[in-house]
Structure 1
Amino acid sequence: MIGQRLEVRQGQGLVITPQLQQAIKLLQLSNLELEAFVEGELERNPLLQRDEGEPGPEAAPEAANDTFPAADMSNADDGELRFVEGSDAHAQSLDARADDLYGDAAPGERVSDRQDEQATDQPGLSDWSRAGSGGLADGEERERPDHREETLWEHLQAQASSAGFGPADHAIALTLIDATDEGGYLRADLGEIAERLGVDEARIEAVLAVCHGFEPTGVMARSAPECLKLQLIERNRFDPAMDALLDNLELLARRDLAALRKVCGVDAEDLAEMIAELKALTPRPGAGFGGEPAQTVVPDVHVRPDPAGGWRVELNADTLPRLLVDKRYHAVVAAGARSETEKTFVADCAAQASWLVKSLDQRARTIMKVASEIVRQQDAFLAFGVEFLRPLTLKTVAEAIEMHESTVSRVTSNKYIATPRGVFELKFFFTAAIQSSDGGAAHSAEAVRQRIKTLIDAEGGDGDVLSDDRIVEILNEAGIDIARRTVAKYREALRIPSSIQRRRLLRAG
């Protein structure tokens, strides 16, 4: 029989509270998004106050300004990386801090048991389930332009991501793109970049040669003649006479046409055509993109060599919002609250302010823990350069620090670390791994790519060309378990022709 009846059931379930949702959202915010969110909460919650004082040994725990452990690479050769503990002046737990903050308040004033519509409709309160949206209340919209032009750097970075670079070459390409100005010219010394990244200058030039094929043509040139040369090559109009003209642009600027005709070895009519071709080119290839300046990347973590050996990992205090809860003002408004609505509003503000301070502190500590483990895993990269990146996954880091993999993923999103070799996004250090056929340690995908390139470069001129199947056999003998399709994919990413094409080129040569 079908009917209605009342039943009482007991069960277990996982409920994510609005406060926990806020803590999760804060983890994945970048430092700029976090600053915007904190500014909104400072306007909305009268009990929150920005701590403008300089952090010191007795700084408030809420400022999350501890001295963190440093990595010790004294035993880097044997594969171990120890951490030297620094001074931790604020080792008390988050719960103890909350007790100290509101130890003199009544239980009903510390944590509100009511998160109803009446409370959230009060001025100054926000819906914490939307944490990360900049603290916008219902009906509010952040002002944003309807259309935003793509910047040159975004355009180049998108092409670099699809250019088939390995992790190391992709890092080099991004470094070169960061050194490109708004006009599209590369403003950096290749020798300095090679020294900073720990690679040969020839490899930097090889990556730059690939980047010169990006659109718009002529981008990332180091000079105006090189920019014009790249455009002429694309139009198939670059010849010795035009090369001589580009080498003597100062004569063109002085309108010394007689000297130009002599240098280029052409008559007046040909020189006029060459000059007309130059005028049709674009001397500033980046001028057609959005004029929005590139945002300066502010690192969340700094890694510096420790004088005692190893690496010192520190949070960037400039990116950490330092908030306090005004206890005196809370006492005043709590004493003046008369109605139940006013008491609920004050209690909710106090609870939300306390939870936000604790969430920011926990966010800083979580970033510190993840960054320290990444430094531990990738110490060889910091010491020896980009060639020594190790295979690393989110799961490996999560298991090492006893956190969930999703937490590590959120922490590494939009977070940057400043190292002696440059500023990198934390996700940069997670590279694919290729398993070993003999049960040994896994091999980095980038290392395998370089081995394939080395094998092909060593091919002799007697027609002995390695097929993909032969490369698989050689790699398997070296303990690398790899499939033929993977070898073909890596070879194509390196822009290396197939064995048949290479054999034809050798015969033609």
Structure 2
Amino acid sequence: MSLAPRLDLRQSQSLVMTPQLQQAIRLLALSNLEVEGFIAEELEKNPLLEATVPDDEAPVIEREAPPERDAPAAADELVLVGEGTGEAALDVDLGAESFHHDSPADGGGGMDGALGVSGVSGPGAEDGPDFDSFAAADLNLADHLLAQAGLAVDGADLFIAAHLIDQIDEAGYLTASLLDIANRLGVPLARVEAVLAVVQTFEPTGVGARSLAECLTLQAREADRYDPCMARLIDNLDLVARGDMARLRRVCDVDDEDLADMIRELRGYDPKPGCRYGGEPTQSVVPDVYVAKAKGGWAVELNNATLPRVLVNRSYYQELSGGPQDKSSKAWLSDCLASANWLVKALDQRQRTIIRVATEIVRQQEAFFLHGVAHLKPMTLRQIADVIEMHESTVSRVTSNKYLHCARGLFELKYFFTSAIQSADGGEAVSAQAVKSALRALIAAESPKAILSDDTLVEMLNAKGFDIARRTVAKYREAMNIGSSVQRRRQKALEGS
């Protein structure tokens, strides 16, 4: 065996994660709104891309059907060859069906096609005015308090009031120590306390309090209900929380009727007065997939209104490539064309993959769509992946950050994947969500005089056919933010007082 250096030529194969391949995988996990933002960035960078505006005619749509066994796995195929595969028709004729219309382009009666695959609305689409854009921004708590401070105090006191307001959190509570504020501003503590007393007279009542008891005290004084009995009740909020009525009667020196009246008054106060103002605007969830009942089956459609249709402007490419250009310009133009072609294919493949996964979810969970959560079946990502011949990780990405809208409401696609609970009679396993639904119904129907313990709940669930342990009942109850039997008994006692 020679130890001398030499050159060898060898062949090997490896999967290289190119930037485009990584981006194609990431696209699967994005919601329609996130993809819309990504497309907007690509439109700015690539002059060969353009978002088309839908015509007055019906959009170009396509029908989805159960995947055939000999068809390549769409998302996985994109990873390997970067190309999409065609899809067959779903087992439902939507030509005569009335379906959800998410834009004027979808309107005009029944659909001529079936399941939407590529988006049709984009910049310039005539969807009507966006009235949300005309809404004025909500007045936040700090601005509301500063406006009142400008009318109540002036000079140095206004500066102190502004500093105090800056230390009030979104719930309306003062979070800083008055002594620290006095030392920081170099003013006497008594003056800071005097200004705080003025701030505590502002709307909403209870703002500027340093504790829950002080917040309730301010509101009781405003309502002219702060008598010695109410003061003792507020000083003993821990007894109220425990529902210790006997001790509260002794502490407040009142009878049952007066105590019940005081507690009703106390329950009418706002423990977080600052939450009425400002805060982050509520973000509505936009569905990515629509599901509706149709003759002989189910219609599954992508939400085209949130996804513009992107095309490659080949005429502009011909115009640019036909003109004078140097080597670097030619390479840049070729890169733009390759990037544009890839994006169009990746988006088309993403939408086809979502439709395939959503269609299979609907098929396997048809009982849920017909009868409700009690009929939700246990299902795993692997079950869907095996049927549509994709990798489990691909199904996981497709179901991330995606929402499905149906007649029963809006659900995240991950909602349909639940663990299995064995049946008590040896029958078919049931979904954990179905057990939670049954548990919630039992607790909601319990009598205030007969609160159900976890052991009793286990027996009742076993009678319904759910083989479930006590610790599982406790875990599900806590996950749904339902208190224990002791906590519920105290809550019922307070409500009935």
Q: Give the TM-score taking structure 2 as reference length.
A: 0.51
Query: What amino acid is the match of 2:472?
Result: T
Q: Using the alignment, how far apart are the partners of 1:340 and 1:349 within structure 2? A: 14
8 Å contact 2:382–2:392 — kept in the other structure?
A: yes
2:405 is matched with which residue? 418
Partner of 2:317: 330
Q: Out of 461, 472, 475, which is 1:486 matched to?
A: 472
Give the direction of change, closer, same or farther, for the CA distance of 1:418–1:13 in structure 2 (3 Å limit): same
> Residue in 1 aligned with 2:15?
14
Structure 2: distance between partners of 1:401 and 1:495: 42
Task: Give the equivalent residue in structure 2 for 1:316.
Answer: 303
How far apart in 1 are the matches of 2:171 and 2:408?
A: 26
On the 8 A contact 1:68/1:85 being kept in 2, the answer is: no
In structure 2, how many angstroms separate the alpha carbons of the residues matched to 1:482 and 1:446?
Answer: 13
Query: Please, which of 329, 337, 341 is the counterpart of residue 350 of structure 1?
Result: 337
Equivalent pair of 1:394/1:430 in contact (CA under 8 Å): yes
Partner deviation per Cα, 1:26-76 (whole Å, 9 max, x = no partner): 1112222211211111111111111113274684xxxxx435569xxxxxx
Task: Identify the range of structure 1 (330-339 vs 348-357) with the bigger mean alpha-carbon deviation.
Answer: 330-339
Matched ranges for 1:56-455 at <5 A:
56=57, 59=60, 65-68=61-64, 83-84=91-92, 281=270, 284=273, 286-287=275-276, 290=279, 292-306=280-294, 308-436=295-423, 440-449=427-436
Is the 8 Å Cα contact of residues 337 and 343 (structure 1) preserved in structure 2?
no
Asked if the contact 1:385/1:421 (under 8 Å) is kept, the reply is yes
Aligned-pair Cα RMSD in Å:
5.2
TM-score, normalised via structure 1 length: 0.50
Tell me: CA distance 1:430–1:55, structure 2 relative to 1, closer, same or farther (3 Å).
Answer: farther
Counterpart AA for 1:40:
E
Q: Give the 3 Å change call, closer, same or farther, for CA 489–9 of structure 1 in structure 2.
A: same
Which of these two proteins has the greater Rg computed from alpha carbons? 2
The CA distance in 2 between the partners of 1:67 and 1:368, in whole Å, is 9
Q: Which amino acid aligns with 2:422?
A: Q
Could you say what secondary structure the match of 2:91 adopts? strand
Is the 2:219–2:269 Cα contact (8 Å) retained in structure 1? no
Question: Does the 8 A contact of 2:92 with 2:298 survive in 1?
Answer: no
Contact residue 69 and residue 312 of structure 1 kept, 8 A? no
Corresponding letter in the other structure for 1:441: E
Separation of aligned partners in 2, 1:52 and 1:425: 29
- Structure 2 CA distance for aligned equivalents of residues 277 and 481 of structure 1: 43
Aligned residues: 322
Pair 21,53 (structure 1): closer, same or farther in 2 beyond 3 Å: same
| Matching residue's letter, 1:27 | L
The letter for the 2-side match of 1:485 is R
Q: What is the CA-CA distance between 1:305 and the residue it aligns to?
A: 2.8
Alpha-carbon distance, 1:338 to partner: 3.9
Cα 1:447–1:482 change in 2 (3 A) is same
- How far apart, CA to CA, are the structure 2 residues paired with 1:439 and 1:55? 57
SS at match of 1:441: coil
Give the Å deviation of 1:452: 6.0
CA distance 1:333–1:305, shift in 2 (3 Å) = same
Q: What do the CA deviations read for 1:292-337 (whole angstroms, capped 9, x no partner)?
A: 322232222222232x254322112212221111111111212225
Instruction: Say if 1:2 and 1:480 are closer, same or farther in 2 by CA, change over 3 A.
Output: farther
Amino acid at match of 1:66: E
Deviations 1:238-290, CA, capped at 9 Å, x for gaps? 99xx9999xxxxxxxxxxxxxxxxxxxxxxxxxxx99x989985685523662
SS of 1:304's equivalent in the other structure is strand
How far did residue 373 of structure 1 move? 1.7
Distance 1:363 1:336, change over 3 A: same
- Which secondary structure does the structure 2 equivalent of 1:387 belong to? helix
Corresponding residue of 1:31: 32
Secondary structure at 1:84 match in 2: coil
Contact 2:373 2:437 in 1 (8 A): no
